[in-house]
Structure 1
Amino acid sequence: MTTDPRTWNAGEMVTAAMLNQEIRDQLNSMFGAWTPYTPAWTAATTNPALGNGTMIGRYLKIGRTVQFHVELTMGSTTTYGSGAWSLSLPFAAAAGAGTRVGLAHAVGTIRAAGHTLVAPLAANFQCFFPASGSVSNLSNAGATNPFTWAAGNGLRATLTYETAA
């Protein structure tokens, strides 16, 4: 939990409590445990349903920079929806120009390396994987990309981006 730094005044008597709050506590917040969050999983046409699968998210926010990681494991009652998948961010992205690219990994009938993408002002991110094993063009992750998902398959995504606030 970071707070804005204190404004010091000339001649002010500095106490141990002030130093602890301004230095120790700020540094502890940067080196502490990541904060858990539960991402929302949606799709462009029909939303997937987690069923008995699992999804965990966690993040570390320092100032307006967030690093986060999501792990989605499909269960036997998971449904995959239709259209491009999106997962919610822990905080909305900043309005700056350009996109933020991170890493994604799909584990199933194959292991596929991919990318994550966050657009300016976005509240969600998307994963992109090769459209097939024989091409390197990237397509949105969905029910059949990078393979037909099944129970026990997993999607992992990691990204660092700037938040709106």
Structure 2
Amino acid sequence: MTTDPRTWNAGEMVTAAMLNQEIRDQLNSMFGAWTNWTPAWTAATTAPSLGNGSMTGRYMKWGRTCMVNLELTMGSTTTYGAGVWSFSLPFIAASAVGSRVGAAHALGGANRVAGQLVVAPAATTFTCFFPASTSVSFLSNNGATNPFTWAATHQLRASFTYETAA
């Protein structure tokens, strides 16, 4: 938990409690535990359903910088929806110019596919991109059949840092 720095006044009596709050507590927040959050998983056309799969999200926020990890494991009753997949962010992204890019990995059976994810300015979600097949190198939107046909035990992992709006 970080707060804005205190504005000190000339002649003010500085106490141990003030210094603890301003210095110790602010520094401790940078070394504290990551915070769990439950991301929302959506698709552009038909919503996916987690079923008996699992999805965990964790983040660490310092000021307006947010580091995020997400892991989605498909279950036997997971449905994959239709259209481009998106995942919610723990905080709204800053409206700064340019998108933020992070790493994504799709793990399915013998398949290990590296991809990217994009956080657009002022976004509330992020989207993953993977090669459309093993014969092409350009990236396509992630969905039910990209980078492969998803099935039980397959995983999507994402890690990235972005600037938050507040």
Q: TM-score, normalised by structure 1?
A: 0.98
| Count of residue pairs brought into register by the alignment | 165
How far has the Cα of 1:13 moved from its partner? Answer: 1.8
Counterpart of 1:161 in structure 2 is: 162
Q: Does residue 31 of structure 1 match 2:31?
A: yes
List per-residue Cα deviations over 1:32-76 (Å, max 9, x = no partner).
001111000000100100000000001111111111010000000
> Runs ≥4 in structure 1, deviation > 3 angstroms?
none
Letter in 2 for 1:57: G
Counterpart of 2:149 in structure 1 is: 148
SS in 1 for 2:128: strand
How far has the Cα of 1:143 moved from its partner? Answer: 0.5
How far has the Cα of 1:164 moved from its partner? Answer: 1.2
Q: Provide the aligned C-alpha RMSD in A.
A: 0.7
Long gaps (5+) in structure 1: none
Counterpart of 2:139 in structure 1 is: 138
Long gaps (5+) in structure 2: none
How far has the Cα of 1:159 moved from its partner? Answer: 1.1
Tell me how far apart the structure 1 counterparts of residues 164 and 11 of structure 2 sit (CA, whole Å).
36
5 Å-filtered alignment, 1:9-28, equals 9-28=9-28
Identity fraction in percent: 75
Counterpart of 2:8 in structure 1 is: 8
5 Å-filtered alignment, 1:11-160, equals 11-109=11-109, 110-160=111-161
Letter in 2 for 1:83: G
List per-residue Cα deviations over 1:8-34 (Å, max 9, x = no partner).
112222111111100000011111001
